[in-house]
Amino acid sequence: MARQPVVRHNDWGSLVPATLGAWEPTLGVTVVVPTFNYQHTLPYVLAGLAAQSYPAHLLEVLVVDDQSSPVQELPEVRPDNTRLIRVEEGWGRANACHLGALAAEGDVLHWYDADMLAYREEVEAHARWHHLVDYAVPGGDKHFVDPAGLLGLDPAVVRDRVAAGEAADLFPGQDHEPHQWVEDYWARTDDLRTAGPRAQRFHIGMTGSVTKALYFDSDGFDRSLRLGEDMHLGHSLAQAGGVFVVDREARSWHLGRSQVLRRAEQVNRYNDPYLADLVPTMRPKRNKRGRTYQVPYLEAVVTAGPADETIRVVDALLDGDVPDLRVTIVGPWGSVHEDRVQPVEDPVLETRLVHRSFVHEPRVRLVVALVGPSDAEFVLTLPDVTLAPLRGVLPALLDDLERTHHGARLLSYDSGAVARLERTSALARVARVADSGDDHEVLLEESFGTKTYAATAVGWVPVGEREVERFTLPARPPMDTEKSEQRMVKALRKADAISAPGAEGPPSEGGESVDLTSEADDGDQGKRGLFGRRR
């Protein structure tokens, strides 16, 4: 079997799909239709699916009834191979879609909401991408319409008109409202071709599809989500190597306005804390400082070495300007024991010191071995504990990767060792397209791009030179209250915590205003610049 085509970044334009009606499909497609009290529109959804150009023997439809009341029954007009399954545990669209995925017999999972009406070639248009690569995530073109005129028609009539290619004429004289915020982003990014890693944020699940292989290689739907599940799924599919396609020939009508359009402000208010916690690419929803999240933006992996150096390296990572991270230290933590031993002569003293230093730090996890890929957006893997980054280094390197959409930055040490800062989705894409004899480094460069820097040229310093500031509390008699207040005001002014911009600052202890422009940054940043040069 030939290796799959390689798509660079999200430029799906390099793929050439089959012409509709002029090819021979071979993959089975399961259309998963979650429904909750959509008895009025579901007959028309199934009527449209019964008129599809995709071969009937390759098409399965699963209607997943999410505990509708009255209980959903299958209408008479439906595709030949249609099954109804009922949700017995949990609730919500994400839960229903995942149950459909588990029950599906097809090679392709095609999500389709119970208020959508497909054009004749909708399923075929999606399926042709999955015959090219197993990591395509196509999305369809849709417009919102008032369904009132449709609901008076016999579903059999709708089926026949869709089969005759007349779906576009079912709503004459009506305004056809586009999915405007999605269309605007598609327009700015050449239908997501230039969107790079941000393409995942515009995964709209009401009419989307994915191979079963890619879905189950990803984290899939988060079944605890009640809204925003399609955006989270987009992130999961990207992390598994997906490329997001816009197919203008996969057309549908949305029967009524979506909840997001009707109640956008309320929906966004509900979604924000969930998506901020779970989707690192939605960085504008995350605080720049002071917070950590369930799924980190960056994971740093350190193999434990000598205790002093390991502690310094991990402290340097935690002290940096990327608080949204997790540090994973790999070591033999099971050897740390409570047996009687002379403490300073303990055979596992080095391991014990590292263990005790970080066992209660919430941003650090101690593991014996790495299991599976990281869930973070980026992974920094250090080869040893000889070099440590200055505070502003990691944001600069990450911004470099974000601007270029590249897959990795390699940081070469003088010893010949290499630290790797890699995009998780890029590693997954390479793993999907690689054959047994392929060079993964070559594929990473081809599919995403890489660049190598000398570590010491971009702010990495010998670990012994990286100082992490500690508190000072000298023993002294109590200070006069007014003098202490003056010092507090000076500190607040320095931190820009008081006084409006342009306002005259509070006096210093000597009666003169405080000049902040000459103040050096705290800690080692005052001694050494970002790229290792002394100031």
- Digitized pLDDT (tens) for each residue of the chain, 535 residues in all: 468 999 999 999 999 999 999 999 999 999 999 999 999 999 999 999 999 999 999 999 999 999 999 999 999 999 999 999 999 999 999 999 999 999 999 999 999 999 999 999 999 999 999 999 999 999 999 999 999 999 999 999 999 999 999 999 999 988 889 988 899 999 999 999 999 999 999 898 789 999 999 999 999 999 999 999 999 999 999 999 999 999 999 999 999 987 667 788 899 999 999 999 999 999 999 999 999 999 999 999 999 999 999 999 999 999 999 999 999 999 999 999 999 999 999 999 999 999 999 999 999 999 999 999 999 999 999 999 999 999 999 999 999 999 999 999 999 999 999 999 999 999 999 999 999 889 999 999 999 999 999 999 999 999 999 999 999 888 899 999 999 999 999 999 988 766 544 444 444 333 333 333 333 334 444 444 444 444 4
**pLDDT reported for residue 497:** 65
DSSP letter for 347, please.
T
Residue 504 included in any domain: no
Report the 10 Å Cβ neighbour count for 330: 15
- For Cα atoms 125, 138, 113, give the angle at the middle one, nearest 5 degrees: 85
- According to the 3-state scheme, what is the secondary structure of 230-261? HHHHHHHHHHCCCEEEEEEEEEEEEECCCHHH
Domain's final residue, options 233, 261, 285: 285
> Do the bridges between strand 108-112 and strand 207-211 make them parallel or antiparallel, or are there none, so unpaired?
antiparallel
Q: How far is CA 130 from CA 28, 29, 97, 301, 403, in A?
A: 10, 10, 19, 35, 29
**pLDDT reported for residue 527:** 45
Please state the domain count of the chain: 2
DSSP string, 22-87: SS---S-EEEEEEESS-TTTHHHHHHHHTT-SS-GGGEEEEEEE-S-SSPP---SS--SSEEEEE-
pTM of the shown model: 0.89
Residue 478 included in any domain: no
Q: How far is CA 285 from CA 80, 219, 259, in A?
A: 45, 21, 21
Find out whether 150 and 172 touch, Cβ atoms under 8 Å.
no
Nearest to 30 by CA among 130, 157, 164, 155: 130
What pairs with residue 389 in β-bridges?
460
**pLDDT reported for residue 441:** 97
Residue 433 included in any domain: yes
Pure H helices in 164-257: 180-188, 212-217, 229-239
**pLDDT reported for residue 222:** 97
155 and 256 housed in the same domain: yes
**pLDDT reported for residue 259:** 66
Q: Which domain holds residue 405?
A: 298-465
What pairs with residue 492 in β-bridges?
none
- For Cα atoms 216, 222, 225, give the angle at the middle one, nearest 5 degrees: 155
Burial environment of residue 349 by CB neighbours within 10 A (0 to 12, 13 to 18, 19 or more): middle
38 and 79 housed in the same domain: yes
Q: Is residue 220 left, alpha or beta, with left meaning phi > 0 and alpha meaning psi from -120 to 50?
A: left
Tokens 């026949």 -> residue: 160
Residue 103 included in any domain: yes
- For Cα atoms 208, 214, 220, give the angle at the middle one, nearest 5 degrees: 70
Burial environment of residue 281 by CB neighbours within 10 A (0 to 12, 13 to 18, 19 or more): buried
Residue 187 included in any domain: yes
**pLDDT reported for residue 257:** 81
CA distance 237 to 101: 14
Domain's final residue, options 231, 263, 285: 285
275 and 302 housed in the same domain: no
Residue 515 included in any domain: no
Nearest to 231 by CA among 194, 189, 185: 185
Q: Is the peptide bond before 507 cis (omega within 30 degrees of 0)?
A: no
255 and 177 housed in the same domain: yes
255 and 393 housed in the same domain: no
439 and 342 housed in the same domain: yes
156 and 25 housed in the same domain: yes
Q: How far is CA 336 from CA 341, 362, 432, 470, in A?
A: 12, 20, 39, 27
Give me 306's structure tokens.
Answer: 């000598």
Q: Phi, psi at residue 390, to the nearest 5°?
A: -70, 170
**pLDDT reported for residue 427:** 98
**pLDDT reported for residue 487:** 93
Residue 509 included in any domain: no
Residue 506 included in any domain: no
CA distance 163 to 204: 26
User: Could you tell me how far CA 150 lies from the centroid of its own chain?
Assistant: 38
202 and 69 housed in the same domain: yes
What pairs with residue 298 in β-bridges?
325, 378
CATH number at residue 225: 3.90.550.10
308 and 369 housed in the same domain: yes
269 and 382 housed in the same domain: no
Domain's final residue, options 285, 320, 339: 285
383 and 237 housed in the same domain: no
264 and 402 housed in the same domain: no
